[in-house]
Amino acid sequence: MDTNTFAWKLFELVAPLAALGLTWLSIRAAQLAAAKIKTEHVTRVLLMIDGAVLTAAREMQQVLVDKLKATSRDGDLTAEQGAEAKQAALDSAKAQLGPYGLADVAATLGLDPRGVDRLLGARIEAAVHRIKMSSRMSTDPGTAGDAVPFAA
């Protein structure tokens, strides 16, 4: 058997294995790309939720909560007023997200409309907590100004 014949037979044996390897690599690359795209989409949706919720919580703090606290005797909200403020913040966040944003949240995270409401409600409570924590920080006379929380 001469060298050309041997090389051709070797190529006939190796070519299907190489094609199989390249097919496997292309499938794996497509899976990794799809996973990366999905991860980036979930991240974008969560950032969109956080932005809408934080804006809604700050809006309710300025528009509703401060007025309610000013009119109360002890400067605190009643449970009913707190629930009213939370519902107003939830409505504001849903309005900011809009129907397409809410549908995107539901589809991306696999939630029904009640699940989306629960998610937004929990995020609103977390945003209110962050707002309260940042307002409780006092100014140190030795610093240049108000303390700013890291999570703000």
- Measured CA to CA, the distance from residue 57 to residue 147 in angstroms comes to 20
Question: Is residue 107 left, alpha or beta, with left meaning phi > 0 and alpha meaning psi from -120 to 50?
Answer: alpha
CB 98 within 8 A of CB 84: no
Q: How far is CA 10 from the centre of its chain?
A: 54
Residue 133: both structure tokens together: 């924590």
Over the stretch 17-46, which tens digit does the pLDDT of each residue have?
999 999 999 999 999 999 999 999 999 999
Residue 144 three-state SS = coil
Residue 145 three-state SS = coil
Mean per-residue pLDDT for 139-148? Answer: 53
Over the stretch 81-118, which tens digit does the pLDDT of each residue have?
888 889 999 999 999 999 999 999 999 999 999 999 99
Task: Please choose, from the candidates 45, 128, 49, 48, the residue with its C-alpha nearest in 3D space to the C-alpha of residue 88.
Answer: 128
